[in-house]
Structure 1
Amino acid sequence: MTEHAALVHGEAVARERVDALLAAVPVRDRETRPESLARAARQRRRWATQVVVTDELARRACAERGLAPPDEVSPSRVLAVAATDVADLGSIVAAALAHSPAARALLADLEGEQDVPEEAVRDYYDRNRDCFLTREALRRGVDPYGGATAGDFLPYEHVRAGIASELRRAAAQRAFFDWLDRARTGVVYAAGHEHPGDPSHPDHEHRH
């Protein structure tokens, strides 16, 4: 059996890092049939490999960007990933951001690079009026798209900063996905550590 889970630009990522992550994440599979349990275990290992590889790639990206070295990952730290993050980001990226200080540092740096035009902020406010009803308007059941008055909405000036922050965060997440797709091209996985959705192995799945 190989001693590495993957090669990142020719440098080994130790299997022990994947094993440590697996030991920290509770098993949630409810299957009882041996073949189903075996398949679930294989997919958990592939999923964990992706999280560890993302951490390794993020460490390298932080070094290339001259960012201060992030705190080391604690192998025993149990991941706490919000369901909304999984829905928005996919389980691998959500878990990587929870697990990896380097991934979080990279995402924060990418967020600082995003420029959100004033027109985009105003457009979001105008197109999502239901999000900006006052408490009183909500209590009265005001229809934001029919019969509402200007006084039923929070003023643009009061919510502008929050909208800009949300748009900047969303743009940074897209930039993170783009970076990860490019960075993964330099990764070669050991047998049994392929991406869970890789169609080259027989029990692949497309959930991320």
Structure 2
Amino acid sequence: MTEEYAAQVRGRPVPKDRVDALLETVPARDRETRPDALARAERQRRRWATQVVVIDELAQRACAQRSPRGAGLYPSAAPPRGATSHDGAAPEIRPNTTLPAERDVADLGSIVAVALAHSPAARTLLEQLERDQQIPEEAAYDYYDRNRDRFLTPAELTRGADPFHESSDLLPYAQVREGILLELRRAAGRRAFFDWLDRARADVVYAPGYEHPGDPSHPDHEHRH
């Protein structure tokens, strides 16, 4: 009997229809015409979509663990209409067209970037992890000192000053400190997100045909970003 799930997370099935629903919202970027090439592209697209759905499922669980009563699970976006708690049917992931304009996610890789664009739980978890990061004052000032070219005054930029020359005027550290802390906190939060995801995915078991698109155990694997 063919399994009706795309993956299992700690024994709990992730239904195939969640993968199908995502595939309907994200158009194919492959334009193959030959039947064999088209079939391969669709297999890879299904595996890719499975990863996005699994990240959403894992993020829902992580958010529920961090907020047992469900408080604050979706600060970036309200849950989809008809969504229930984590203990019931899983809320569907949904598009969020504002995310790419608000935050550059291209460096996170296509799977994680799309998960953040479609999953309120994944966005929430990333935001929570960013807020959790404690950046020492010494690290912020060291960043300021090592990246002087980013903090030249407008007049110095106009005249093309050497940012590392002792006489060059920089914006005061106190003026740029909050922006530096925000940037360092965001970078640390992303690292924490990937660390969490690596650990969380260790418990996932995939149904045949739904493996990671870069899994070398299947013959047409590929790993692209």
TM-score by length of structure 1 reads: 0.90
> Residue 157 of structure 1 corresponds to which residue in structure 2?
174
> Residue 85 of structure 1 corresponds to which residue in structure 2?
105
Structure with the larger helix share = 1
- 1:101-180 → structure 2 map (5 Å cutoff): 101-146=120-165, 149-151=167-169, 153-180=170-197
Q: Secondary structure at the match of 1:142?
A: coil
User: Within 1, Cα distance between the matches of 2:134 and 2:96?
Assistant: 35
> Residue 86 of structure 2 corresponds to which residue in structure 1?
none
CA deviation profile, 1:16-75 (whole Å, cap 9, x unmatched): 111111100122213333322222211111111001000000111111111524323555
> Residue 25 of structure 2 corresponds to which residue in structure 1?
24
The residue type equivalent to 1:113 in the other structure is D
Alignment check: 8 A CA contact 1:55 1:100 kept: yes
Percent identity reads 65
The residue type equivalent to 1:163 in the other structure is I
CA gap of 1:107–1:77, structure 2 versus 1, over 3 A, is closer
> Residue 98 of structure 1 corresponds to which residue in structure 2?
117
Does residue 1:2 correspond to 2:16, yes or no?
Answer: no
User: Within 1, Cα distance between the matches of 2:33 and 2:147?
Assistant: 46
Does residue 1:187 correspond to 2:207, yes or no?
Answer: no
Farther off after superposition, 171-180 or 26-35:
26-35
Q: Secondary structure at the match of 1:7?
A: strand
The residue type equivalent to 1:149 in the other structure is S
Displacement, 1:199? 0.7
RMSD: 2.0
User: Within 2, Cα distance between the matches of 1:7 and 1:100?
Assistant: 18
Alignment check: 8 A CA contact 2:94 2:118 kept: no
Alignment check: 8 A CA contact 2:52 2:112 kept: yes
